[in-house]
Amino acid sequence: MKQSIEKGKTLLIDGPACIALYSGALRAFGAPIKVGEHIIIRRGRRIPIEAIEDSQIEILLGNSASFSLIDENPIPDSWRNAADKILSIDGRVEIVVLGNVDSGKTSFCTYLANVAFERGRSVALIDGDLGQSDIGPPGTLGLSLIRSPVIDPFNLQPDYVIFIGNTSPSSVVQPTINGLVDLRDKALNMGSSFVVINTDGWVEGLDAINYKRHLIRRLQPNFVVIIGSEEPLKPLIDSLSSLEVNIILVETPRNVKRRDRETRKMIREASYRKYLRDAKVRSYPISWIKVDGHMEIAGKPDQALKERIEGILGEKIVYCEGTQNSIILVLDERANLSNEARAKLSAELNRPIRIMRKGEERGLLVALEDGNGRFLGIGTIQCIDFERGTLKVYTNVEGSVLRVHIGQIRLDDKGNEVEIISRST
Ligand SMILES: Nc1ncnc2c1ncn2[C@@H]1O[C@H](COP(=O)(O)OP(=O)(O)OP(=O)(O)O)[C@@H](O)[C@H]1O
Ligand SMILES: [Mg+2]
């Protein structure tokens, strides 16, 4: 469908949709859109497109997509003022963006990155939101150097990814903070001097505030931009004020699109599928690689120990291996180990026992890494073949893999999220 947009008006489009610009000039989150360009708006996302000149576009709307024309500038004045203040500093600048879910964090980071890029800065965007990832798959932290203006950071090619393996930071605070510090250092080493760090929407309550405070203490950014209405964020603002950081408060845009849990899950699932495109099942000998994270296994079966345990329990077990500190015991899916039997084993073997059930690994999201610890891609575990000592992973990673890091997110065969395992075993 053809549509004209008068200069100064804004087209709000809710995806899935695609627009093509025939004539005029448009802009989205500070990124210019030129004649001949196509812009794709993903499902679950709303993009405000401003007309810089009278423009003619073609719109293709997908299922449940919609659009409306509004007579206002979608970028709040507070966003413009914040960008001006931050850009008044020459040299290296680091900015952390905090705010509730749906407050506009991703959009503010995108806007700031675009304005800085247009002014010639070497911009890096770091995505610290595990649940609603923009760069890299869900459960990861991502870094992208900005090489051209960005409308949707989901389309950026990540330069570096760190796998955390959970969609929420609450049980993985320390690895998330370490990962973000690591990515910031990498961005600086790669030559960026304007580093924008986005975070998750967990900002209310003592644990969330402690986490954000700890993060800011470690990163020591020049600016912390806090998005949203002041009242619910007051405890966070008060806590950060004592750190003597430069805090800038900005508003949430009026027309922001809020997403419910189901939509958020659907957005994550689209992302898993994107990173699993063209995947096939590949087999890795466990004893050649490091398998760790939510489950750890060395792939070095101990036959004598297995027989001893079978003797104690009076029944067959699938697999066992012993390390100095613990014993990994794999039972059949249906096997049931009573507390009494467990206590007997611990007493006789005098080491903590980690019990796994065969099949429990199925569907767990993993990251595959090379020998330098570099993230190569994600996969899902098909199975561990204890007899052959192999790990079967559904992945599109082709290179040589030396580590498989197991996460706490379980997907089904279609890439749907089945569960997030809350407790490490
Ligand atoms: N000024 C605006 N006008 C219209 N829509 C906007 C505007 N700013 C942001 N949006 C849209 O509102 C939605 C929420 O914004 P955004 O994704 O930036 O928030 P967020 O805080 O990062 O959310 P999340 O917690 O899911 O990460 C997005 O679809 C975004 O494109
Ligand atoms: Mg976001």
Q: How far apart are CA 189 and CA 43, in angstroms?
A: 35
Measured by CA distance, the residue closest to atom 27 of ligand 1 is 132
DSSP 288: G
Other Cβ atoms less than 10 A from the Cβ of 332: the count is 13
192: closest CA among 246, 156, 248, 147? 147
Which value, to the nearest 10 degrees, does the dihedral of the CA atoms of residues 142, 147, 149, 153 take? Answer: -20
pLDDT of residue 423: 59
Instruction: Tell me the residues surrounding ligand 2 (ion) with CB < 5 Å.
Output: 105-106, 132
Closest ligand, as measured to the CA of 228: 1
Instruction: Compute, in angstroms, the gap from residue 258 CA to the centroid of ligand 1.
Output: 7
Task: Answer yes or no: is pLDDT of 347 > 50.
Answer: yes
**What is the C-alpha to C-alpha distance for residues 263 and 329, in angstroms, rounded to an integer?**
39
CATH 3.30.300, the chain: domain bounds: 303-357
- Residue 424: pLDDT over 80: no
Band (325; pLDDT cuts 50, 70, 90): confident
Residues 6+ apart with CB under 8 A from 321: 297, 298, 299, 300, 301, 302, 305, 327, 328
Residues of the chain with CATH 3.40.50.300: 77-259
| Start and end residues for every CATH 2.40.30 domain found in the chain | 276-294+361-420
What's the pLDDT tens digit per position in 52-106? 999 999 999 999 999 999 999 999 999 999 999 999 999 999 999 999 999 999 9
Q: What's the pLDDT score for residue 263?
A: 94
The model's pLDDT over 86-98, given as tens digits with 9 standing for 90+, comes to: 999 999 999 999 9
Q: Which residue out of 106, 129, 151, 261 has the highest number of ligand 1 atoms within 8 Å of its CB and is therefore the one to mutate?
A: 106
Is residue 43 pLDDT above 60, yes or no?
A: yes
Q: Tell me the CATH number for domain 77-259.
A: 3.40.50.300
Q: How confident is the model at residue 412 (pLDDT cuts 50, 70, 90)?
A: very high
Give the pLDDT of residue 425: 40
pLDDT digits (tens, 9 = 90+) for 128-177: 999 999 999 999 999 999 999 999 999 999 999 999 999 999 999 999 99
- Name the burial class of residue 374, with classes exposed (0-12), middle (13-18) and buried (19+) by CB atoms within 10 angstroms of its CB: middle
Question: What is the C-alpha separation between 240 and 209, in angstroms, rounded?
Answer: 9
Sequence-distant (≥ 6) Cβ neighbours of residue 401 within 8 angstroms: 284, 289, 368, 369, 370, 376
CATH class of the domain whose range is 303-357: alpha beta
Domain 2-70, CATH 3.20.20.80 — does that match?
Answer: no
What token pair was written down for 9? 């008006």
Q: Which CATH class is domain 276-294+361-420?
A: mainly beta
The mean predicted confidence, pLDDT, of the chain is 95
- In tens, the pLDDT along 357-409 reads 999 999 999 999 999 999 999 999 999 999 999 999 999 999 899 999 999 99
The predicted model gives 266-287 an average pLDDT of 97
Tens-place pLDDT, residues 166-216: 999 999 999 999 999 999 999 999 999 999 999 999 999 999 999 999 999
